[in-house]
Amino acid sequence: MGMDQKLPNRWLVLLLLLGIAIFNQADRFLLAALVDPIKAEFTVSDGIMGLLMGPAFAVFYSTLAIPIAIYADRASRIKIIVTGCIVWSIFTILCGYATGPWTLALARMGVGVGEAAFQAPAYSLIAAYFTTEQRGRAFAVMATATYLGQMLGYGVGPQIAEAAHWRTAFEAFGVGGLIIILAAWAIIREPHRETTDDARPPFFPLARRLFMLRSYSGMAIGMAIGVLSGVGFGLWAATLFARNYDMTMAAAGAAFGSAFVIPGLLGAALFGFIADWAARGDYGRILKLSSIALSLATLSLIGTTWSPTLGWALGWAVPAGLIGGGWAVGIYAGLQYILPDKLRATGTAIAMLSVNLMGYVGGPWLVGLASNAFGEGREGLRMALTVVVPVGLVGALLLWRAAQHLTQDKEKLGAPEA
């Protein structure tokens, strides 16, 4: 790979990026874990809470990721990540000082602005530190951040809220993010980049060219639909458990976390090793594995939603986490496989724009709106999830079709412009 000997150990870098990603995810799930106490204090509906969990955060997160990623293909990725983490950690603290739903929405927008600086630069940085044969494992490690973040947000957040106040939980999580970013800044260094005289294509022609590739469009749109299904469920899951089984939010978050998050960690780790093995000779096999995993996870989430007892719900949640734990790893690996180094951050961010707008904006908001339409409460939320979650099967189909074009599209993307 020709990396500078002064660079730190790649696995230490990965561990630090994982720590940042955990707080990145935990800050998102913390609001979901505290829906009912915030809803009660501000006297708002499920629709407004869905707005706070989705668009208030994800619109800025999604749109600003593009210019930040373009800059990251030219500048220091670690400096961009550090700056973003400082911003989102400060605004997470400010969430604890909200005086109503609209000031909370403003703070959530600030969180989204900061978190926009993480995803694409981080994955581009990992691709620079790790060889092609190691990236499946590296991305699998990063995939565990979603589940560790859920565990932190759903498990620790409500416990802090019960012991003190829901506002204290936001303050504690913000401080935690500032601590981990100081360690990353002290250790991580930017790898040397090969200089090139090739002009980078303008944004819109590049986006058009990428989406003309069947593999790229299939990965981007398929992942977007899968995330809409998974995030729509994941951000409302603790509330579903609390309403269905008459539990406190802390107990519901702990129950969901133990049954879904821990198997998800194992599934994400296993997927990385399986993906590296499956990719030998045909990188498209990773996407096929992702398609199968997303299909089975979606069916398991439907089973969780309609479980008559807590025991049945926990039973369905285990395979949902285990099977679905790593399905996104295949997409991240596939994107880095077909994108040349000079376009990795930008190309990843373009794909994530559709993922974030459809998944993180649409998922939780659609569930909240549908819950309103169905009358809220226990049955309203259950019916809302029944409408939203099954769309994950459509995403799985798109991923399967994308797998058939991965290698030839890599060649097309690497060829000179006509």
Q: What's the rounded Cα separation, in Å, for the pair 311 and 315?
A: 6
pLDDT for residue 1: 43
Architecture label for domain 10-189+202-414: Up-down Bundle (1.20)
Q: What is the dihedral of CA 64, 68, 70, 76, to 10 degrees?
A: -170
Among residues 150, 56, 32, 50, the alpha carbon closest in space to that of 112 is found at 56
Please name the residues in contact with 113: beta carbons below 8 A apart, sequence gap of 6 or more.
60, 61, 64, 87, 88, 91
Stated pTM of the model = 0.73
Place of tokens 């500078």: 4
Write down the domain spans for the chain: 10-189+202-414
Nearest Cα neighbor of 146 from 398, 308, 293, 325 is 325
Q: Given this model, what pLDDT does residue 2 score?
A: 43
Do 56 and 109 form a contact (C-beta atoms < 8 A)? yes
Asked whether the beta carbons of 44 and 371 are under 8 A apart, the reply is: no
What pLDDT tens digit does each residue of the chain (418 aa) get?
444 457 788 899 999 999 999 998 898 889 888 888 898 899 888 888 888 887 878 788 888 888 888 888 788 899 999 999 999 999 999 999 999 999 999 999 999 999 989 988 898 889 888 887 777 788 878 888 888 888 888 888 889 998 999 999 999 999 999 999 999 999 998 887 655 545 567 778 888 989 999 999 999 999 999 999 998 998 888 889 999 999 887 888 788 877 877 788 888 778 877 777 776 767 788 888 899 999 999 999 999 999 999 999 999 988 888 888 778 888 888 888 888 877 777 888 889 888 888 887 888 889 989 998 998 888 899 999 999 999 999 999 999 999 988 888 888 876 334 3
The predicted pLDDT at position 197 comes to: 47
- Contact (Cβ atoms closer than 8 angstroms) between residue 26 and residue 152: yes
Closest CA to 338 of 414, 389, 280, 279: 414
- Tokens representing 118 are 């993480």
